Amino acid sequence: MTGGKFSVSGANVTITGPFTAGALNLTLTWSDGAEALVYNVKAAAGETAEGRDTPAPPPDGMVLIPAGEFDMGSNDAEARNDEQPVRRVYVDAFYMDETEVTNLQFKEFLLENPRWQKDRVNGGRGNPIADEWYLSKWKGNNYPNGKANHPVRNVSWYVAMAYAEWAGKRLPTEAEWEYAARGGLKGKKYPNGNTLTARDANFDNNAGGITRVGRYPANGYGLYDMAGNVQEWCLDEYDAEFYFTFPKNGVARNPVSGANSIQWILDNYIRLNSHRVRRDGDHHLLAKFARVSARRSHWPNGTGTGAPGFRCVKDVTD
């Protein structure tokens, strides 16, 4: 906590600011236990955490992720080799969708962009745009009954990229995704701490299937379902040794794998065919796959394995 003051009067504790914008982590301790509280402090009008002019208000359905540094990767016992070595990373501020893109939102995209409709894509084995599981639960342009606010799933990386472009956004780099998923917490395994329960997220078949977006508590940045529900596509090419390219004793700034710039990927995505990164666990995988540092990959036309969905980001300078 930076800038805060507290006072005690009997059984009441009063905490007052001003506080530094970003994650605010409080631990209340009693003689017989403790309670951890996580808040997201928004910058005052005209200021950011660095004291500069604040970005414009977030677009509808998005939250501001403040610029900052974090330790990317993990050294815990469940970490795989591709999560190492742990390196220091800086990311610029950006906006991120509060939730995964929903079926209702995706339907609007399909109706305005017929080339991506299920019958037009006609997914099949070997199809370069989407395999045979593309929108497998849909009937034509209609999502399953009662699932409007569930995340869209069985979407290829190419289609996720097209949706983001149509929405005036883009997919997050995996560095942005991990930084945002951590919600301002340092060195924790999950978006809300070091444990994951059925009250926190949809994983290990604890909810009986995909759940509506926003059902579980948000993390410190106000993001929902950053652990479990559906896997999420990221912008990057998957590289198992990506972190070895980061400075050992310095800070990697806005890293992205597979290109010299984000813009190059955006301009050329339809011609790319290398494995892409997926983050997040999903509703049927164990908790260890929902850790914020866990990485997965698949061919960009893959829609079946993991039944992926996605969420978008937007640069604050746009």
Asked if residue 220 and residue 139 are part of one domain, the reply reads yes
Instruction: Give the range of the structural domain holding residue 148, as residue numbers without chain letter.
Output: 56-315
Residue 14 confidence (pLDDT): 54
Asked if residue 2 and residue 89 are part of one domain, the reply reads no
Residue 40 confidence (pLDDT): 60
Residue 33 confidence (pLDDT): 57
Instruction: Chunk the chain into consecutive blocks of 10 residues (it has 318) and report each block's average pLDDT, rounded to whole numbers.
Output: 48 54 63 59 49 72 97 96 98 98 98 95 81 95 97 98 98 98 96 96 93 96 96 98 97 97 97 97 91 96 93 90
Asked if residue 4 and residue 95 are part of one domain, the reply reads no
Asked if residue 241 and residue 149 are part of one domain, the reply reads yes
Asked if residue 43 and residue 147 are part of one domain, the reply reads no
Residue 28 confidence (pLDDT): 63
pLDDT tens digits for range 23-51: 666 666 655 555 656 666 655 444 444 44
Contacts of 237 (CB under 8 A, 6+ apart): 257, 258, 259, 272, 274, 275, 276, 277
Asked if residue 60 and residue 48 are part of one domain, the reply reads no
The mean pLDDT value of the chain amounts to: 88
Residue 49 confidence (pLDDT): 45
Asked if residue 296 and residue 149 are part of one domain, the reply reads yes
Beta-strand (E) ranges in the chain? Answer: 5-9, 12-16, 22-30, 33-41, 62-65, 68-72, 87-91, 94-97, 232-237, 252-253, 276-279, 296-298, 313-315
At CA 47, angle to CA 45 and CA 49, rounded to 5? 130
Asked if residue 86 and residue 16 are part of one domain, the reply reads no
Asked if residue 72 and residue 24 are part of one domain, the reply reads no
Residue 56 confidence (pLDDT): 76
Contacts of 52 (CB under 8 A, 6+ apart): none
Asked if residue 84 and residue 12 are part of one domain, the reply reads no
Say whether 235 sits in a helix, a strand or coil. strand
CATH number (domain holding residue 90)? 3.90.1580.10
Indicate the number of domains in the chain. Answer: 2
Asked if residue 158 and residue 296 are part of one domain, the reply reads yes
Residue 57 confidence (pLDDT): 86
